[in-house]
Chains A and B, each alone.
Chain A
Amino acid sequence: GDSVTQMEGPVTLSEEAFLTINCTYTATGYPSLFWYVQYPGEGLQLLLKATKADDKGSNKGFEATYRKETTSFHLEKGSVQVSDSAVYFCALNTGNQFYFGTGTSLTVIP
């Protein structure tokens, strides 16, 4: 069935470090791919999305490219800030429902 696998956390980085959170997916159709972020005490909110192969989603300095050949949608940011500390979820939508990864907790220290 459809599923998402993302790297386990927690991840701890120093401010201004480079961030990569890996995400791979399994889907029978042509899914849209998403990254959601959950700040402490809040619900999830959309960070970025890509709807077809080779699309790049970007927002707030974060980027992810839809790679059909490797079935991946890795999240990257060149220079993280303390305010980026949150839990990040990779997700796909095939049109029937959303499937979420288990989440990766990121802590950025000054």
Chain B
Amino acid sequence: DVKVTQSSRYLVKRTGEKVFLECVQDMDHENMFWYRQDPGLGLRLIYFSYDVKMKEKGDIPEGYSVSREKKERFSLILESASTNQTSMYLCASSLIGARGRDEKLFFGSGTQLSVL
């Protein structure tokens, strides 16, 4: 069965800490995405990547960076965590389809991050 695995289900960090959220997919997908999910706001795209060592900003990249050194792994980095980054973080992956817009996203189970 296809899988997107996020390293932690729950994480508690302190303000100012550097935080790494890891995501691994076993489907050989080219595309990988990081979203944050907040009540009333739905899913908002932070960063995405179409290939190894490639990254693109999403709608809310401020305060975040990403790393994609291997095809299967996409890391989200909070350089200096702040309380307004308390959220559910969802990683997703997809193939690059011939029609592009038809490809579905496969999601991990999410990491609930609390910044105190």
**Which residues from chain A sit less than 8 Å from chain B, CB to CB?**
29-32, 34, 36, 41-46, 49, 51, 89, 93-98, 100-103
Contacts of B107 in A (CB 8 A): 36, 43-45
Most buried by A among B41, B99, B101, B105: B101
- Cβ contact of A102, chosen from B41, B102, B110, cutoff 8 A: B41
Q: Once bound together, how far apart are the Cα atoms of A94 and B90, in whole Å?
A: 21
Interface residues in B, total, Cβ within 8 A = 23
B4→A101 contact, CB < 8 A: no
Contacts between chains A and B (CB distance < 8 A), count? 57
The verdict on A51 contacting B102 (CB below 8 Å), with A41-B109, A43-B107 known, is yes
B residues 91-116 in Cβ contact with A at 8 Å:
92, 99-105, 107-110
Which of B12-20, B42-50, B65-73, B75-83 faces chain A? Answer: B42-50
Q: Once bound together, how far apart are the Cα atoms of A36 and B108, in whole Å?
A: 13
The verdict on A46 contacting B105 (CB below 8 Å), with A97-B48, A102-B42 known, is yes
Contacts of B90 in A (CB 8 A): 43-44
The verdict on A98 contacting B100 (CB below 8 Å), with A43-B4, A89-B43 known, is no
**Which residues from chain B sit less than 8 Å from chain A, CB to CB?**
4, 33, 35, 40-43, 45, 48, 58, 90, 92, 99-105, 107-110
Q: Once bound together, how far apart are the Cα atoms of A96 and B104, in whole Å?
A: 13
A43→B109 contact, CB < 8 A: yes
A95→B100 contact, CB < 8 A: yes
B42→A42 contact, CB < 8 A: no
Closest to A92 in B: B101
Contacts of A51 in B (CB 8 A): 99, 101-102
Kindly provide the distance from the CB of A28 to the nearest chain B CB, expressed in whole angstroms. Answer: 12
**Known interface pairs A32-B101, A43-B108, A95-B99; 6 further A-B residue pairs with C-beta atoms within 8 A, sorted by A's residue number:** A31-B101, A34-B104, A43-B90, A97-B58, A98-B105, A101-B42
